[in-house]
Amino acid sequence: MEERDTLHKKKKMGELKKNEKEYTLPAVEMRNFYSHYLKMLQPILQLRKREADVFAELLYHNFLRRNISNKEDRAILVFNTATRKKIQEKLGISNAVIQQALGGLRKKNAIIGINLRESFTVEPKDGVFKLTFNFKVQKDIDLSGLGGDINNKTV
């Protein structure tokens, strides 16, 4: 309902253009926000399930420590043994599984050493987080040399 109201208001005010669409997703608890966020990015990130679960928890623990302005100090707390133990318990996984997930996240450059990539450390502002995708669309490819007409579907 909220999505429809938002879209209706924006269409009325002329804010949304033909090449724009906006959807408001249902509210989620902060603990689950990062999991939903990573699901939206999954086609781009291509994380395994355990990698995504561990990464979501790391992002959440980073959010919990957002008031620590020194990034190095925050990273030490996010990746320390006590935090990893909490993540293991929350996800019901062993130390070996979390280590394997961390290795996969490092290979995919989601984390570098004990630092989360800045581009993934997001947080909602006033209870809202906006994620925008821009698709670059190429013009139709000329298939006339293939002996058919793409518009008439005789290719």
**Does residue 148 sit within a domain?**
no
Query: What is residue 119's three-state secondary structure?
Result: helix
**Does residue 22 sit within a domain?**
no
Q: Which residue did the predictor score with more confidence, 33 or 18?
A: 33
Residues 107 and 48: their CA atoms lie apart, in Å, by 12
Residues 123 and 90: their CA atoms lie apart, in Å, by 21
Residue 77: give the domain boundaries. 30-121
**Does residue 75 sit within a domain?**
yes
**Does residue 93 sit within a domain?**
yes
Residues 37 and 87: their CA atoms lie apart, in Å, by 18
**Does residue 152 sit within a domain?**
no
60 with 89: CB under 8 angstroms?
no
Residues 137 and 134: their CA atoms lie apart, in Å, by 9
Half-sphere exposure of 145 (CA within 13 A, CB side): 2
**Does residue 115 sit within a domain?**
yes
**Does residue 142 sit within a domain?**
no
**Domains identified in the chain, total number:** 1
What confidence tier does 152 reach under pLDDT thresholds 50, 70, 90?
Answer: low
**Whether pLDDT at 138 is above 70:** yes
What is the phi/psi pair of residue 111, to 5°?
A: -130, 150
Those residues whose C-beta lies under 8 Å from the C-beta of residue 36, and which sit 6 or more positions away, are 25, 28
pTM: 0.76
Q: Tell me the pLDDT tens digit for each residue of 93-122.
A: 999 999 999 999 999 999 998 899 998 999
Q: Of 69-73, 81-85, 139-143, which gets the smallest average pLDDT?
A: 139-143
10 with 16: CB under 8 angstroms?
yes
**Does residue 10 sit within a domain?**
no
Q: How far is CA 108 from CA 42, 52, 56, 101, 104, in A?
A: 12, 11, 15, 11, 6
Q: Please report the pLDDT score of residue 8 as a whole number.
A: 47
